[in-house]
Amino acid sequence: MRKYNVDLVYGIYDDEEKLLQAIRKAKSQHLDIFDVYTPFPVHGMEKALGLSESRLHIAGFVYGALGTLTAFLGMTWIFTKDWPIIFGGKPYWSVPAFIPITFELTVLFAAWGMTITFYTICGLWPGVKNPQIDLRTTDDKFCLAFDMTAVNESVAKSLLAESGAEEINTKTI
Amino acid sequence: MNTEHIQLPISDKIILSVLGIIGLISLIYIGANDDLGHTRLWTNILHNSVFFTLIALMAIFFICVSVTAYAGWNVVFRRIWDGMSHFLLFGILLMGLIAIGIYFGWHNLYHWADPQTAATDPVIKGKSSFLNKNFYTFGGLGFLVVWFFFAKKMRDLSIDEDDHGDNRFAHYKSMKFYAALFLPIAGFSSAAAIWLWIMSIDPHWYSTMFAWYSSASCFVSMIALTILLLIYLKSRGYYHAVNMEHFHDLGKFMFAFSVFWTYLWFDQYMLIWYGNVGEETVYFKTRIREYPILFYGNLVINFVLPFLILLRNDTKRKYGTLILVGLLVFIGHWVDLFQMIKPGALHTSIELGSHQAGSAAQALSEHSTEAAHGSHGAGFNIGYSIPGIPEIGLMLGFLALFIGTTLHFLSKAPLTPKRDPFLEESLHHHV
């Protein structure tokens, strides 16, 4: 979960390669990176930042399996116990006819479940305020930010300058 | 060691030759222990010929898809597919052999090829403008020649580009032209070839899903063979540039097309089950009643196992799981084709045997009707309702021929195209 009211020192880059180099350098100097902002997903970023693998897909599998069971057992109950109707001379429990809906509910549960889980983890509920560090990171600039309470400001600034940042600013968000 | 051209150790060549000899022995064994109509022998030859020929077609098809779609990730090992596609040469020979057999009555594979049936049976008579000996021979072989022309063209252009390519990319542009031309041709002709070679074994039955379904089968097998061959070549010190990123994408293709195959398999079944039309349901009735293990096993081995194993990200990036699933789906789709071909051919041979009294298939007829109708408890008829050891031996022989052809053509040129415009992208591929 994001914490706010932090004093940040950040650098703006115009190229993702420079950004990746800067991240690697910061990692090798054991500087604690507050966050990185990019306008698009950058290849190799997770590895450079040392992020662990997302566990969202495990949740996705569980939601999918839940959808499969809901659809299949639901239809089984409806068509054999609750309201048995003969369709086209087929038996009440017609497995092939259940498969398309089972598939659809699997996809639906997995997609919605993962979306809701992802938003919840990220704290992106409706009405959330999401202060931008620099609006240009939504267009064509890349930003690397350090928390000034966690790292030495001058060390951070010199790292940003050496790694080719276009601008170095401070901001409280 | 020169890693640009392959020079395989002698022991591996011996293993390939041994597999080839096993295939030959199996062929002789099946031929010697067969009924007089040689149904088992010819269904096995047809089964393996069609299977490996279509794998070769899928290889050239996928090259053309990649070139047309600007998919550069596979350039580094694309020569493997070039090699595989040249098995079409043997495809021409093998399908030619079967076509000659139709004229000379060497086999009873196709009910429509029997002149008496073609004249009297109204359904077969209605299809006779498509299902006849001449179209089978010249149509089928014509498709193969066209496919081989494109396979050769793509490989020649790629090899010529190594030495004579320049910054104007004339070779690449030419490859794009031929690739784009091949896609619609392959799309229509592969369907017609599959109707001729496989679906016409059950000439009264038809399914509009069938061509897709068997193409998907062969596509998955092609990807599986590519993965296995690449892992093998890497273990022998070649293809250093091929890394887990490439395997990850191949794994994704194997996963995705296993699911695609299942979709077609199930759709074909469900539409026929829903429609409940007698001449359509007979196809599944035969298979579910007389081939239950193959029919349901097919779904487990080609869908459930690859789906559950390859679902996770990291299983597509490990040799162990890739080899396991590659072997599973390769065998699985081979068995899939087995159950597409055997029941219909067996039925044809019984039918023809019964009205050609005293002739070839008489012995088989008695033998197998007994097995078919008494299958509850009477056990299986090896070679007809389940693949026996000689069937697997013959498959290994064909596999050796296929791998041998691939490696032969692979060894004739550098392993990696040198001047393909997408080579750099392929070398830096990142999933």
Residue B195: predicted pLDDT: 95
Confidence of residue A152 (pLDDT cuts 50, 70, 90): confident
Which whole number is the average pLDDT over A25-54? 89
Phi and psi (nearest 5°) for B152? -70, -40
What are the beta bridge partners of residue B324? none
Nearest to B333 by CA among B312, B371, B305, B309: B305
**DSSP string over B293-322:** HHHHHHHIIIIIHHHHHHSSTGGGG-HHHH
Minimum distance, in Å, between the CA of residue B256 and any CA atom of chain A: 15
Q: Taking a C-beta distance cutoff of 8 angstroms, is the pair B6, B233 a contact?
A: yes
Give the up-direction half-sphere exposure of residue B230: CA atoms within 13 A in the CB hemisphere. Answer: 29
**The token pair that represents B64 in the structure block:** 């053309």
Residue at A5: amino acid letter = N
**DSSP string over B222-274:** HHHHHHHHHHHHHHTT--TT--HHHHHHHHHHHHHHHHHHHHHHHHHHHHHHH
Q: d(Cα B430, Cα B112) in Å, to the nearest integer?
A: 52
Residue at B259: amino acid letter = V
Q: d(Cα B23, Cα B16) in Å, to the nearest integer?
A: 11
What range defines the domain where residue B113 resides? 10-427
Nearest to B177 by CA among B310, B64, B45, B292: B64
Does any domain span residue B60?
yes
CA distances (Å), origin B121, targets A170, B15, B129, B282: 88, 49, 14, 17
Give the single-character DSSP code of B44: H
- Helix, strand, coil % in chain A, rounded to nearest 5: 50, 15, 35
| Domains identified in chain A and CATH numbers | 7-53+139-172 (3.30.70), 56-122 (no CATH)
Chain B CB contacts of A47 under 8 Å are none
Nearest to B147 by CA among B208, B89, B75: B89
What are the beta bridge partners of residue A37? A143
Q: How many CB atoms lie within 10 A of CB B202?
A: 22
Asked if the Cβ–Cβ distance from A43 to B430 is below 8 Å, we say yes
Asked if the Cβ–Cβ distance from B312 to A57 is below 8 Å, we say yes
pLDDT tens, residue by residue, A73-123: 999 999 999 999 888 889 999 999 999 999 999 999 999 999 999 999 888
B169: left (phi over 0), alpha (psi -120 to 50) or beta: left
Residue at A156: amino acid letter = A
pLDDT tens, residue by residue, A41-80: 998 888 889 888 888 999 999 999 999 999 999 999 999 9
| Percent of all residues in chain A with a pLDDT value above 90, rounded to a whole number | 53
Q: Which residues of B35-60 are buried (b: 16+ CB within 10 A; e: fewer)?
A: bebbbbbbbbbbbbbbbbbbbbbbbb
Q: Taking a C-beta distance cutoff of 8 angstroms, is the pair B220, B333 a contact?
A: yes
Structurally, chain B folds into a number of domains equal to: 1
| Residue of B244, B266, B281, B303 to mutate, interface with A, max A Cβ within 10 Å | B266
User: Which ranges of chain B have pLDDT less than 50?
Assistant: 357-379
Give the single-character DSSP code of A136: G
Q: d(Cα B85, Cα B65) in Å, to the nearest integer?
A: 14
Q: In what order do the strands lie in the sheet with A7-13?
A: A33-37, A142-147, A7-13, A167-172
Nearest to A160 by CA among A141, A139, A146, A171: A146
Residue B5: predicted pLDDT: 81
What are the beta bridge partners of residue B244? none
Q: d(Cα B414, Cα B249) in Å, to the nearest integer?
A: 23
| Residue A51: Cβ-neighbour burial (10 angstroms; 0-12, 13-18, 19+) | exposed
Q: d(Cα A136, Cα A37) in Å, to the nearest integer?
A: 10
Of residues B327 and A129, more confidently modeled: B327
Chain A CB contacts of B312 under 8 Å are 57
Q: Which residues of B148-187 are buried (b: 16+ CB within 10 A; e: fewer)?
A: bebbbbbbebbbebeeebeeeeebbeebbebbeebbeebe
B70: left (phi over 0), alpha (psi -120 to 50) or beta: left
Chain B CB contacts of A44 under 8 Å are 430
Q: Taking a C-beta distance cutoff of 8 angstroms, is the pair B407, B8 a contact?
A: yes
Asked if the Cβ–Cβ distance from A57 to B313 is below 8 Å, we say yes
Q: d(Cα B340, Cα B194) in Å, to the nearest integer?
A: 11
The CA-based angle A123-A129-A133, given to 5 degrees, is: 100
Residue B40: predicted pLDDT: 87
Which whole number is the average pLDDT over A139-150? 90
**DSSP string over B168-230:** T-HHHHHHHHHHHHHHHHHHHHHHHHHHHHTGGGSTT---TTHHHHHHHHHHHHHHHHHHHHH
Chain A CB contacts of B430 under 8 Å are 43-44
Strands A142-147 and A7-13: antiparallel
Chain B CB contacts of A57 under 8 Å are 312-313
What are the beta bridge partners of residue B174? none
**Which A residues 94-123 touch B at CB under 8 Å?**
96-97, 99-100
Does any domain span residue B63?
yes
Residue B380: predicted pLDDT: 58
**Which B residues 292-311 touch A at CB under 8 Å?**
311
Residue B359: predicted pLDDT: 44
Minimum distance, in Å, between the CA of residue A33 and any CA atom of chain B: 25
Residue B371: predicted pLDDT: 45
Summary mean pLDDT of chain A = 90
Chain B CB contacts of A99 under 8 Å are 266, 270
